[in-house]
Chain A
Amino acid sequence: GESVGLHLPTLSVQEGDNSIINCAYSNSASDYFIWYKQESGKGPQFIIDIRSNMDKRQGQRVTVLLNKTVKHLSLQIAATQPGDSAVYFCAENIGGGSNYKLTFGKGTLLTVNP
């Protein structure tokens, strides 16, 4: 089976609140993780990534946390806006060299209420 999964398939928040999307992975050899945002009718869009030698990385309004002990990844979105409404995927790197591929989790639908 797939090694990347999500705890919550849907998340509904009020505009201005902070959002937290969680992801569990089972492959302890994974060393690179990415969060993607997919809006309706579009392809997945890169948000932020983190390598396994880090436990936190911040971007603009987004923070990714990595807990290798429990194989858990989270995406925090500050001051969530209606434009953040989308499906969010975590992806895990498996393989090395030219066999590099990303395995995607099931996705979480984030809905931001005005």
Chain B
Amino acid sequence: DTAVSQTPKYLVTQMGNDKSIKCEQNLGHDTMYWYKQDSKKFLKIMFSYNNKELIINETVPNRFSPKSPDKAHLNLHINSLELGDSAVYFCASSPSSRAGYTFGSGTRLTVV
């Protein structure tokens, strides 16, 4: 069983398109996150949700809209994709208290 699963694994799309990435965790964790990893491997937090409630929004453009239908799911919708959005996006989850994150395997987004 995959603890944190993301789909799709690869996504190639043209500039201006709208796309979504889905994430599901079966760990029973209360908190979920989206991270962006750039070409230099730098990992930066984008959003966190705790029990479906948005907690952290790290000055991400409005084109990025997370949605959490329930605490096991956190999806990421991106409007009007730009070349600079090309990166690997990781979903993660953690218990509500201080603990390590469990990461998904990532979605490599390429905007052409």
Residues of A within 8 A of B (CB): 31-32, 34, 38, 41-46, 49, 87, 89, 93, 98-104, 106-107
Distance, CA A42 to CA B50, complexed state (A): 25
Enumerate chain A residues within 8 angstroms of B41, measured Cβ to Cβ. 38, 87, 106-107
A61 to chain B, nearest CB (A): 18
In the complex, the answer to whether B33 meets A101 with C-beta atoms within 8 Å is yes
Distance, CA A42 to CA B4, complexed state (A): 12
In the complex, the answer to whether B56 meets A43 with C-beta atoms within 8 Å is no
Residues of B within 8 A of A (CB): 4, 31, 33, 40-45, 48, 50, 53, 55-56, 90, 92, 94, 96-98, 100-106
In the complex, the answer to whether A46 meets B102 with C-beta atoms within 8 Å is yes
In the complex, the answer to whether A42 meets B55 with C-beta atoms within 8 Å is no
A104 to chain B, nearest CB (A): 4
Partner of A44, one of B44, B53, B56, B103: B103
Q: List 19 A-B contacts (CB under 8 A).
A: A32-B98, A42-B106, A43-B4, A43-B92, A43-B106, A44-B103, A46-B100, A49-B100, A93-B98, A98-B50, A99-B55, A100-B98, A101-B48, A102-B45, A103-B45, A104-B42, A106-B40, A106-B41, A107-B43
Enumerate chain B residues within 8 angstroms of A38, measured Cβ to Cβ. 41
In the complex, the answer to whether A46 meets B42 with C-beta atoms within 8 Å is no
Enumerate chain B residues within 8 angstroms of A103, measured Cβ to Cβ. 45
Enumerate chain A residues within 8 angstroms of B102, measured Cβ to Cβ. 46
Question: Given A43-B90, A43-B103, A101-B48, is A107 in contact with B56 using a C-beta cutoff of 8 Å?
Answer: no
Distance, CA A10 to CA B101, complexed state (A): 24
Question: Given A42-B105, A43-B104, A44-B103, is A101 in contact with B90 using a C-beta cutoff of 8 Å?
Answer: no
B53 to chain A, nearest CB (A): 8
